[in-house]
Amino acid sequence: MPWQSVSLPATEAEAESLSEALMESGALAVSMEDEAAGTSDESPVFGEPGMPTNALWQSNLVVCLFDQDANVPQILETAATAVNYRLPDYRIEPVAEQDWVRMTQAEFAPIAISARLWIIPSWHTPPDPGAINLVLDPGLAFGTGSHPTTRLCLQWLEQNVQPEDSVLDYGCGSGILTIAALKFGARRAFGVDIDPLSITTAGDNALINHVHAEFYLPDTDPGIRCSIVIANILTNPLLALAPLLADRCLPGGKLMLSGILDEQVDKIMQSYRIWFELSVWRNEEGWAALSGIKRL
């Protein structure tokens, strides 16, 4: 069934109330977009680690969807009156029927992390069946392999995990690093996250990938010390967690930290220098990955 769509400009103060009024007045769906998208004034929100997390943009487009038989002018007038919004000139655009699931899936292709590691959405055939293929679908938990910080962690694990290692992934998100550690041959791997949804998602991902990983919320974390501790989170949490992460790393064990902008490296190094002599392992797109060995 085809639909109708209208885009309305709105300030940060107007956007949320206008969206709610449109839904109450008969819109099928409403979304908000950056009016400056694609220009030099575009500003990110709801970002990955290190990105701003403003609730809305200063200038928004409220994009509303209506069924083909809806009286769009009447719905718009009703919603605008309800929230005292001055309705501008607008254009009603037809929206053709499309296979939205297939279109969404087409946006996510296999990701080559290295010569022998791929991240594969479940609906794709692995390009290299002989590689380590980690099956992971885009979801609600952070960590799909597309962000530089995650790629850096995966590449580091590939080069550092040994068969006798135990691995702690603190802030595990989707479980991608915990699962990868086991795929690379770690004896045991744990993931900890403050988000219950992440714990559920990570457990499901481990089952899909046929590995036995253990995932915990902080209050159920058994506190096992590991030969490798890895954390791909924001700089401020990394600073706050320094004593905990140091305690969870065995003497002579390895620490890997990511989610750090290049300009934040010195601050992290100073915070961890009591326990580790950290160095920059690799940089990518303005992000740094730090690694070091815990002092005996």
Q: What is the pLDDT of residues 79-113, one digit of tens each?
A: 999 999 999 999 999 887 655 445 455 556 888 89
Q: Tell me which CATH code domain 148-293 carries.
A: 3.40.50.150
Torsion angle of the four alpha carbons 50, 40, 104, 206, in this order, in degrees rounded to the nearest 10: -10
Confidence of residue 33 (pLDDT cuts 50, 70, 90): confident
**More confident of the two residues 176 and 51:** 176
Confidence of residue 45 (pLDDT cuts 50, 70, 90): very low
Q: Would the pLDDT of 126 be above 80?
A: yes
Give the separation between CA 151 and CA 209, rounded to whole angstroms: 18
H or E stretch at 254: strand 249-261
Q: Would the pLDDT of 48 be above 50?
A: no
> What number is the average pLDDT over the span 201-207?
94
| Share of the chain residues as helix, strand and coil, in percent rounded to the nearest 5 | 30, 30, 40
Q: Tell me which CATH code domain 3-97 carries.
A: 3.30.70.120
Confidence of residue 123 (pLDDT cuts 50, 70, 90): confident
**More confident of the two residues 165 and 126:** 165
Confidence of residue 138 (pLDDT cuts 50, 70, 90): low
State pTM to two decimals: 0.67
Q: Where are the domains of the chain?
A: 3-97, 148-293
Decide if 3-97 and 148-293 have a common fold.
no
